[in-house]
Amino acid sequence: MDYQWLTTFIAATEELNFRKASERLSLSQPSVTVHIRLLEEHLGLQLFDRLKNRVTLTDAGKLFYVHAVQLIQDMESTIESMHSFAQGYRRTWSIAISPLMAETMLPYFLRTFQRKHPDVELSIQVEESEAIEGLVDSGDVHLGISALKAAGRNVETKRIYEDPVVFVMPVDSYDEESGPPIDVVEVLKMNYLLVGHHPVFWNELLPQLKENVPGIRTMKVTQAHIAKRFIQEGLGVSFLPLSIVRRELIEGRLMQPHFSLFELPKVSTYAVWKRKGELEEEFMQHISQYYLG
């Protein structure tokens, strides 16, 4: 059975129009007709009913469409596997990590992982924490790193570390040694508060802030790395897990004024897995070393 016959059949089925299928595949319309005829002869079944200029799927065609799609997917997967083998890869491993952690943790991990496991083809999916448990449960990824603890029974979860939330603001000409203490209430009143970039702590934190700082103005920014950039550009202030802004604070690209209005929350980072092997264990250890190091 020819690969081109299958791709032509799939296109014709989805378009239900041989002319549109030919345009989609960059083939002539007679070629599409020939491919379908050869496929029908090979199967010994009629896949399309033809009435004037219209085509509709037969029952056999509807059934075969499902199998044709699977055949193409299997063939493409096999080709990808062989390409990986040719590049020296002997196994694959995939992780899903939330955007909150991806920017800071992934570069550190990849340097050591690639040196230690040159035979492993690594696949990384950056996904919101809400989606990570489902990807692990379905087997789409081997391990998830999430800001949310897994709730299902089919997967296991472990807290890797706990992170204090800190208040950060843009750097200005303030002299920490000789200048007066920064008034965080005034800072919050004078700037937009960037919210919405963490799935857990804002539900608790924002009501407390509004109670202590009436008239506070908020701007929703759903990605932590964007919130950091906005703060550095003077577009607002926010509260972020310390591990996410640690480098910027050390390098003087952000400021962390003393915050004493109330106790700030702590957030956790979780590993989520279905089957824990050598690579899963190693990755969790690396993340702990990154945070503690």
Tell me: pLDDT of 123 over 90: no
- DSSP 8-class letter at 265: P
Residue pair 264/209 in contact (Cβ under 8 Å)? The answer is no
Separation of alpha carbons 45 and 27, rounded Å: 24
pLDDT digits (tens, 9 = 90+) for 177-225: 555 678 999 999 999 999 998 888 999 999 999 999 998 999 999 888 8
Cα separation, 129 vs 165, in Å, equals 18
Residue 12 pLDDT: 92
Comparing 174 with 4, the larger pLDDT belongs to: 4
State pLDDT tens for residues 261-292.
999 999 988 889 988 888 888 888 777 665 54
- Helix, strand, or coil here: 117? coil
Neighbouring CB atoms inside 10 A of 123's CB total 13
- Give me the domains of the chain, ranges plus CATH numbers: 3-86 (1.10.10.10), 91-161+268-292 (3.40.190.10), 164-265 (3.40.190.10)
Chain segment 14-69, per-residue pLDDT in tens: 999 888 999 999 999 889 999 999 999 999 999 999 887 788 999 999 999 999 99
Question: What are the Cα distances from residue 179, in Å, to 33, 141, 185?
Answer: 81, 51, 17
Contact 6, 71 (CB under 8 A): yes
Q: What angle do CA 77, 82, 86 make, to 5 degrees?
A: 150
Residues 149, 164, 236, 100, Cα dihedral to 10° = -40
- For 42-55, what is each residue's pLDDT tens digit? 999 999 998 877 88
Q: Name the band, by pLDDT with cuts 50, 70 and 90, for residue 293.
A: very low
Average pLDDT, the chain: 85
Q: Which residues contact 268 (CB under 8 A, 6 or more apart)?
A: 147, 149, 159, 160, 161, 162, 163
Stronger pLDDT, 176 or 209, i.e. the higher one = 209
